[in-house]
Structure 1
């Protein structure tokens, strides 16, 4: 028997949950993921305001974003195991408590470092919330069709947090200090934690699990080394000692992680899960999709803030369609997944999203709000069609008793992609803008002295110099801003090309590994993993 099978221990039959309890559990699971994602894009659209208030560099802004995503990605699998061991309700409530503590730290922040600390705490809380919410749903929805609908609602709630966060924060920044953008998440998080402690019933995995400390430490080394190397490589240079060491640590950590997990009697991430083609495909697609989505949100937030000089609220409104369609179309997507193939919806969504991302190449410095909204809407529809099927395929590609493991692994790859998006696109925005700026300045009509001044400001401060770029006369300032806008837009085009190709590549992977045919109605969940292991199978 395999390690998973041999770890199983007989469990008494669980009573079927009452309908009211099922509804309450699904609602609280959705509320938990909603509150945990409120600050994600909301913080991104407030970065221009935070940059001026905290005098932060471009790398500092990237770390504000990744300080949340990194601990989420690194701790998801371990938090999933903790929930399986000690109870998903306990993990859910504890995650909300840590999340609220992080919001409180950010609410009182006076430096980039303190914001990063608060973001890291909210990331740790989110790492506990994501697998526990999916585990709670899986426990009360053993039926695949009902679970599919619940996961669609879960995904829509995630999208709702991503959608409302920028709007809340835009209104707050218009009338108060940027620090108050963390208050709505804090308030809702406290109320949700109290409701969860009172209403939820605890559940655990139906097999014995143990914490995998070596695997957790190696995962932290690999993920942190990779993201640190990408962010610092753009500013310190790709050949600098700290960047080379970071990439070496990431490579060694990844190889050691795989080796340790293959030999562990109770691995944090059982590598045999990837013997399921559907699960492997969903994992790769999730990472690529979130890399493109979060990276493009970061890039377009900077574009609207630095080139169009839009307010935080305006940025939130302009980007609302990227995640808003996930909310609007969520119930429809849930029904469609039970009537057709989730793989087909996934491939169609990725193709539409990839085309939308490539259409961002049409943006110019003078692009109007209506034109931009049309392109962003296409991207948003594609993401809405793709997101729920990815999670559903990952959850349903393995036997029901492994749904928690599948959900945690899928969420971990979601966060790794989310972390790499702002890191990679932030480096591209900076380097590409600096590379093309001299050429645009040369054709701007500015004097050689003014060209040198602008080049020096952008080189020293980074792309954030566009927020306060002023020369001696209004005419020269206008010429400088025009050249800067053209350079930044060139950089945005490069990001759009990479993001679009990434989503189209994800569509090809989904077609090849998942397919577009519906699973036969008579096929049971125990038949979904056909590949065996020399020591046994996944069941």
Structure 2
């Protein structure tokens, strides 16, 4: 996750007691750790959620995106709310809404209620992201101390992404899927209680305004696009609601740009995009997260439905992907100091693309152990790329836009994350349905059995293929083999799209960033003139 670094608050004081500063940093790190426990954890648990609720692939897409969409849409607004009304209040409110969302999921009896709970948790996380970093900036006004604290914050976020699937895997070994939301609920309430007692509030003295029209248009545009992609994959691209969603998004997006250009206090400052390096890294960020989250969604379903892997095993696989963000953070910082962010970024993107393309080597016999090295390659590449993206974005702009730039960078990350499950889910469904007839014919099944298997998958959803039961054990085995081959073909298509997206990101980085040395005072001066 890119850091939403912001300038020190005017209220910040070098006289902040060391103990208070340490406690504040610890609570900020713990809060973001709690907020990100369910992100990948829920993805790893999708197969058991599907079985528990008999959810369709479309429903699973919405369960994932229900969290991401409000996070993307509200992130910038909550940054302003924290500066206007107090970061402690925003932090506490975020934890309260997050805990409420976990409680809703914990008591859910259907997909809709899980989506509502996920959406509430996403709203809470949108408030936690800027407020935790605002609290850090308040108690760590010196650049060196703030950089160290933000590094801890980033590591805490990565730790939440890494441990979430493992915790959930351990839970579902002994309880139903609903209980995966209990640790986040308990830890969120605990963090809220401690923060209410020990945290000091802070806010910015510079004049800020809530950009209500911009907020509404951004939410409408993002939701319209994601809704159109997800529903188009199941209802058909010519369906009335799908066409309407795309039309609404097509109107809302340019309207958002116009409103932001005219607003005295825009939610997204369009001046940022005058910098080619910032614009390039914004696109790169979206593509990286599009591929990462999309492949996490796809692989969780692949190993859960085709291999019937446990949630714990899927968590181990995803830990191999996400854990490197935590482990390699200090090394990436030293690499950038010795060379420059550009080469490190492009190396990371190429390595990540190689990892994504190697997923095409998976077949129906690939085990979790065999897949983990490939996931490690993908994870190393993403870990190498993430820190340089933020560094380049910050270095390309003047200091007074640093906070807005980093917040925008994080919002674009969430937008890329939202489109990953939406697009990859559609690819998965279409490819399975397109190749299953051929694989069933090659399996030797009779016409009646082929028709029955196709009918079940076409009407109940691609997940139903994992639980097919035909008239005889041999026919059932043959149908499962054909289904596994079709799902593997679909996985290969998703891997190809992801690898191509990362290679495109590397090309964009080469054109907009290049292999350039570290930023100099002259670079900053030119940035000041541009923006």
TM value normalised by structure 2: 0.94
Shift of 1:16: 5.4
The 3-state SS of whatever aligns with 2:267 is coil
Q: 1:395 to 1:16 in 2, by over 3 A?
A: farther
Q: Spell out, residue by residue over 1:101-123, the C-alpha distance to the aligned partner (whole angstroms, 9 max, x if none).
A: 10011111111111111101000
Give the match for residue 529 of structure 1.
Answer: 527
Q: Which residue of 2 aligns with 1:124?
A: 123
Matching residue of 2:472: 473
Query: Partners of 1:277 and 1:432 in 2: how far apart?
Result: 37
**Which 10-residue stretch deviates more, 459-468 or 113-122?**
459-468
Tell me the CA shift for residue 396 of structure 1.
4.4
In structure 1, the partner of 2:3 is none
Q: 2:11, 2:203 within 8 Å by CA — same for their partners in 1?
A: no
Contact 2:324 2:383 in 1 (8 A): yes
2:325 corresponds in structure 1 to 326
Q: 1:66: how far off?
A: 0.7
In structure 2, the residue matched to 1:92 is 91
SS in 2 for 1:529: helix
Preserved CA contact (<8 Å) 1:205 1:401: no
Quote how far apart the aligned CAs of 1:446 are: 0.6
Q: SS where residue 510 of structure 2 aligns?
A: helix
Q: Distance in 1 between matches of 2:183 and 2:16?
A: 32
- For 2:74 and 2:332, the matched residues in 1 are separated by 30
How many angstroms apart in 1 are the aligned matches of 2:16 and 2:523? 21
Computed over aligned residues only, the root mean square deviation of the Cα atoms, in angstroms, reads: 2.1
Q: Residues of 2 paired with 1:476 and 1:338: CA distance? A: 61
**Alignment map for 1:337-486 (pairs within 5 Å):** 337-486=336-485
Distance 2:468 2:372 in 1: 27
Q: 1:260 to 1:42 in 2, by over 3 A?
A: same
Between the aligned partners of 2:59 and 2:435, the Cα distance in structure 1 is 23
**What does residue 251 of structure 2 align with?**
252
For residue 237 of structure 2, give the secondary structure of its aligned residue in structure 1.
Answer: coil
Is 1:25 the counterpart of 2:36? The answer is no
Is residue 191 of structure 2 the alignment partner of residue 196 of structure 1?
no
Q: Unaligned regions of 5+ residues in structure 1, if any?
A: 1-7
In structure 2, distance between residues paired with 1:472 and 1:257? 57
For the 8 Å contact 1:139–1:203, the answer to whether it is kept is: yes
Q: Is the 8 A contact 1:148 1:338 kept in 2?
A: no
| Aligned partners of 1:279 and 1:394 also within 8 Å | yes
Q: How many residues align?
A: 524
Instruction: Call closer, same or farther: CA 1:482–1:13 in 2, change over 3 Å.
Output: closer
- 2-structure distance, mates of 1:165, 1:13: 34
Identify if the C-alpha distance between structure 1 residues 298 and 179 changes in structure 2 by more than 3 Å, giving closer, same or farther.
Answer: same
Aligned positions of 1:251-270 closer than 5 A? 251-270=250-269
What residue number does 2:157 align with? 158
**Alpha carbons of 1:517 and 1:326: their partners in 2 closer, same or farther (altered >3 Å)?**
same
Q: Unpaired segments of 5 or more residues in structure 2?
A: 1-6
Find the residue that maps to 2:173 and give its secondary structure: helix
Going from structure 1 to structure 2, the CA distance change for 1:528 and 1:456 (only over 3 Å counts) comes to farther
| Shift in Å, 1:511 | 2.6
CA positional deviation for 1:189 = 1.2
Residue 269 of structure 1: SS of its match in structure 2?
coil
For the 8 Å contact 1:99–1:125, the answer to whether it is kept is: yes
The answer to whether 1:291 aligns with 2:290 is yes
- What CA distance in whole angstroms lies between the structure 1 residues aligned with 2:28 and 2:395? 19
> Per the alignment, in what secondary structure is the counterpart of residue 521 of structure 2?
coil
* Equivalent in the alignment of 1:5: none
Question: Quick one: distance in 1 between partners of 2:211 and 2:95?
Answer: 23
Aligned to 1:209: 208
Q: Structure 1 residues 142 and 402, CA, compared in 2 at 3 Å: closer, same or farther?
A: farther
- Please say which of residues 71-80 and 155-164 is displaced more in the overlay: 155-164
Question: Higher mean Cα deviation, 428-437 or 382-391?
Answer: 382-391
Q: Distance in 1 between matches of 2:402 and 2:185?
A: 30
CA distance in 1, matches of 2:510, 2:277: 10
| Structure 1 match to 2:228 | 229
Q: Deviations over 1:230-266 (max 9, x none)?
A: 0000000011111111011111100000000000111
Closer/same/farther in 2, CA of residues 108 and 298 from structure 1, 3 Å limit: same
Shift of 1:360: 0.5
Residue 266 of structure 2 aligns to a residue whose secondary structure is: coil
CA distance in 2, matches of 1:415, 1:432: 26
